[in-house]
Amino acid sequence: MNIDLSGKRVIVTGASRGIGRAIARAFAAEGARVAVCARTQADIDTAGAELAATAQAVIARAVDVTDTAGVKAFVDEVAQAWGGVDVLVNNAGQGRGGNLDTLTPEQILEHANVLQMGHFRFIQAVVPHMRKQRWGRIIEINALAGTQITPDGIPSVSNRAACIAMAKSLGMSLPKDNILVNTLNMGWIDTGQWNRHYKEMPEGTPRGEFDAMVLKVVPLGRFGKPEDVTGMALFLASEYASFISAASIDIAGGMGGQIAYYPTLKRDFQVEMQARFGGTGGG
């Protein structure tokens, strides 16, 4: 299979690191024109310089996804420079923990403004350009927690579920304009966040035991890599996926409902490590 994306005009949000950067790198390697954005100018400049080695053209800008006018200005700049936009990869947004006893409504709304509304702002900005050319691909990067509900992390659970529902809804309404929308739902993809989770454990916690605990809920028995996501993103942007829309695809190594057990596993493991090594975490 030869996926030819040379010359495609692609926007990737949240592209300064992790999955977004890996996806932008993959499109660049296929000869696409790649526009990337993130919150911090220095970080996105670094990503843009890397992409310039392989991409047909690069635009890199600092964009706040909560700024409707700023999002539209960025998308319009890309469309004007390249004569349109073919692909949007909506990747920006992070998870957020918390439960009924620790959260305020305002914190959930703040997360929604970045995640749900951030994705919505980019879709709303890019669709007029795609309609004009009657061709477009929108790929939503979401999380498995939006389809397999967990007993903790209310902001991530509720806001990812809303993003996935939005992707499915738009995946039904936009194909009449030859714009296809699909969502990829991440499991345990290791982009550095597991190092941060490990540091929450008491000092002295063996890293191997921590990883083994985390991976108990992953049937494949390993962390995913950003590169495990890029192939599906390239496929969905190609003509091979011309009859796929409103699909929800889990990239999670076989993990499904098992994810609901993870918060309990983590709490029990932390208690065990505290008993063994002392301390309260943050080591």
Residue 62: enclosing H or E segment and its boundaries?
Answer: strand 57-62
**DSSP label at residue 187:** -
**pLDDT computed for residue 126 by the predictor:** 98
Q: Tokens for 69, please give them.
A: 């006018």
Nearest to 236 by CA among 76, 56, 8: 8
**pLDDT computed for residue 97 by the predictor:** 86
Q: Which domains does the chain have, with CATH numbers?
A: 9-189+224-252 (3.40.50.720), 193-223+257-283 (no CATH)
Q: Which residues of 26-42 are buried (b: 16+ CB within 10 A; e: fewer)?
A: bbbbbebbbbbbbeeee
| Cα 9 to Cα 135: distance, rounded to the nearest angstrom | 11
Q: Which residues of 266-280 are buried (b: 16+ CB within 10 A; e: fewer)?
A: beebbeebeeeeeee
**pLDDT computed for residue 255 by the predictor:** 97
**pLDDT computed for residue 243 by the predictor:** 98
**pLDDT computed for residue 283 by the predictor:** 46
Q: What is the pTM of this model?
A: 0.94
Angle of the 105-114 helix axis to the 154-173 helix axis, nearest 10: 40
The DSSP bridge partners found for residue 140 are 90, 183
Helix, strand counts (H, E) of the chain: 10, 7
CB-side exposure of 141: number of CA atoms within 13 Å?
A: 30
CB-based contact 255:217 (threshold 8 Å)? yes
Walk along the chain (283 residues) and give the pLDDT tens digit of each residue.
Answer: 778 899 999 999 999 999 999 999 999 999 999 999 999 999 999 999 999 999 999 999 999 999 999 999 999 999 999 999 999 999 998 888 898 999 999 999 999 999 999 999 999 999 999 999 999 999 999 999 999 988 889 999 999 999 999 999 999 999 999 999 999 999 999 988 899 899 999 999 999 999 999 999 999 999 999 999 999 999 999 999 999 999 999 999 999 999 999 999 999 999 999 999 986 555 4
| Cα 62 to Cα 158: distance, rounded to the nearest angstrom | 27
Radius of gyration of the chain (CA): 19
Residue 282: enclosing H or E segment and its boundaries?
Answer: none
Q: Tokens for 212, please give them.
A: 């083994």
CB-based contact 163:115 (threshold 8 Å)? yes
CB-based contact 167:140 (threshold 8 Å)? yes
Nearest to 228 by CA among 26, 70, 17, 3: 26
**pLDDT computed for residue 279 by the predictor:** 65
**Amino acid in the structure at residue 210:** F
